[in-house]
Structure 1
């Protein structure tokens, strides 16, 4: 059968050379051949870029001069992929995401069976085979009977958000609704991005598509985050104040859920003073600032800034 969709993988990498090599080998072994693979090297200093050049010369390597975080890496990589490879679908993942051989094929089959879908997420497991709590899907609240039925008929689940740990996203939807907000750096960037696209379209979870998320520990997002807790708090405040992804009632629902999770995280933490400091700083910065534009965020990286500007200028 001819391949209609063009699938381009975008992998964001930072100082995990061995895992990156494993991820690229897994992408090369997909039963559904990918049309291109873009790797964004976020200024790694462990030889990741050289390893890609040596072992995977066909990979399109984008090397950044500073660490722009996961959010910046995906924004830069998606803009480059959209301009250089003309994809139908972008397959987004971190460098510790190892797809099983049929992961791409199952995603393609699922989205092509449901034309209204713009985002599809894989089932994410840990190294021991159990579902990873950090990437557990939740059914879309108040999903319509028609959408629920269509998803079930394709052995999928209707969802309201998705994770950058194997997110399959329509290139047309990105061109229409924009790239991730790079200034988030880490945390909540995929939630903001996916809810923004899915506010007016459909998203699904595809359990037949399986990837392994090789985190050091098995845990959910409330696992003791240390100083990174600041980004969770600041970005959630930014999301509630400025994102177009959530309706008012959704902001109330997800906001209440976030507060409960923050309390639980601090209670369980072995470094409570660090988390309390992150909470105070995150609330303060989230309340008095807003994310800068993507072109401003990449102002010191002209090639990236120009690519991002061109993609976002073409939004419908």
Structure 2
């Protein structure tokens, strides 16, 4: 089994260093380690290259982007590189996690059964980190889950996902295409897993494989943690609702009144985040700008989804971000 660990990084060399150390500690070394550097400062390149001898010159792929393409653009490029390298499986992750040494042992029992997997994560303080787990088809928003969502066998079927740990088989990538770089950040991973769920079952398994390393301001709501977010994230979480809607419409799954309600609820959640977590309304204008720019995406008659991945369709649509 040829596993490509695919990492996207942007100006967090200390966290990247810890992640690459954890790659070395894996009890099953990966076939490739693809690091996509989103035009970071030079220190990031130095950190990556410091691992070349330890990982192996044939294992480490250090790919620097000319500009910052966001997580979406980075993962799109990283998946392309992993496929071209001949990977059977691609494990996608941001630079602010570390891999638990026995992660692949914990994944192995599930890899013959499912083609898209997520394991569980510990938060910075060692407590379980709660993910959003499944798109509500009417609202077009992922709803949170609790441990009770797992079956007696230890898994839950979903139609959403995250690039902070998605493990996907390459044949599914070829079928659904590369991650869509136009998202820049936010919703890109959720819609990618949703597209995969239309081809195969997507599973969360009750096995811890990662630990988050970046501390954030957060409020524990019981079912999930609500973190602070950057201005870029605020903008894209609202603008990219339009991309989610376009993908739903493309596959005949868009309920326009329900989706509009889901967008209102998403905006309300982001305002709640401002008030409760960040204790400020300064990001409200950014949220509304995202809503406004999303309307342009809805009106774009030339919009098209990402194509299946073939030798002549690997080029992504033009990137669309601020």
Q: Quick one: structure 1 residues 258 and 99, their matched pair in 2 at CA, closer, same or farther if it must change by over 3 Å?
A: farther
Equivalent residue in structure 2 for 1:21, among 17, 20, 45: 17
Larger mean Cα displacement after TM superposition, 120-129 or 218-227: 218-227
Shift of 1:201: 1.3
Structure 2's unaligned 5+ residue stretches are: 138-149, 219-223, 316-322
For residues 10 and 96 of structure 1, the distance between their equivalents in structure 2, rounded to whole angstroms, comes to 13
Tell me if the contact between 2:124 and 2:215 (Cα under 8 Å) persists in the aligned partners. no
Tell me if the contact between 2:116 and 2:201 (Cα under 8 Å) persists in the aligned partners. yes
For residues 293 and 99 of structure 2, the distance between their equivalents in structure 1, rounded to whole angstroms, comes to 37
Equivalent residue in structure 2 for 1:127, among 124, 129, 137: 124
Equivalent residue in structure 1 for 2:227, among 196, 218, 223: 223
1:108-131 Cα deviation digits (max 9, x unpaired): 32122x1xx221011011121112
Structure-1-length-normalised TM-score:
0.79
**Mapping of 1:141-180 within 5 angstroms?**
152=151, 154-180=153-179
Normalized per residue, which structure has more strand? 2
Shift of 1:284: 1.8
Q: Quick one: structure 1 residues 253 and 216, their matched pair in 2 at CA, closer, same or farther if it must change by over 3 Å?
A: farther
Which residue number corresponds to residue 281 of structure 2? Answer: 272
1:61-94 Cα deviation digits (max 9, x unpaired): 111111111000000011011112x111100000
Which residue number corresponds to residue 232 of structure 1? Answer: 237
Structure-2-length-normalised TM-score:
0.78
For residues 215 and 83 of structure 1, the distance between their equivalents in structure 2, rounded to whole angstroms, comes to 31
1:228-267 Cα deviation digits (max 9, x unpaired): 2110001112211245468235x76666445324213214
Tell me if the contact between 1:132 and 1:218 (Cα under 8 Å) persists in the aligned partners. no
The secondary structure found in structure 2 opposite 1:205 is: strand
2:8 matches 1:12? yes
2:290 matches 1:282? yes
Which residue number corresponds to residue 92 of structure 1? Answer: 92
Q: CA RMSD in A?
A: 2.9
Tell me if the contact between 1:182 and 1:294 (Cα under 8 Å) persists in the aligned partners. no
1:146-173 Cα deviation digits (max 9, x unpaired): xxxxx84652221111111111001100
Tell me if the contact between 1:227 and 1:274 (Cα under 8 Å) persists in the aligned partners. yes
Tell me if the contact between 1:156 and 1:206 (Cα under 8 Å) persists in the aligned partners. yes
1:14-48 Cα deviation digits (max 9, x unpaired): 11111111111111211222111111111110511
Tell me if the contact between 2:129 and 2:225 (Cα under 8 Å) persists in the aligned partners. no
Tell me if the contact between 2:135 and 2:160 (Cα under 8 Å) persists in the aligned partners. no
Structure 1's unaligned 5+ residue stretches are: 142-150, 296-307
Tell me if the contact between 2:161 and 2:190 (Cα under 8 Å) persists in the aligned partners. yes
For residues 239 and 245 of structure 1, the distance between their equivalents in structure 2, rounded to whole angstroms, comes to 11
For residues 9 and 101 of structure 1, the distance between their equivalents in structure 2, rounded to whole angstroms, comes to 13
**Mapping of 1:296-311 within 5 angstroms?**
310=311
Q: Quick one: structure 1 residues 313 and 19, their matched pair in 2 at CA, closer, same or farther if it must change by over 3 Å?
A: closer
Which residue number corresponds to residue 300 of structure 1? Answer: none
For residues 134 and 13 of structure 2, the distance between their equivalents in structure 1, rounded to whole angstroms, comes to 32
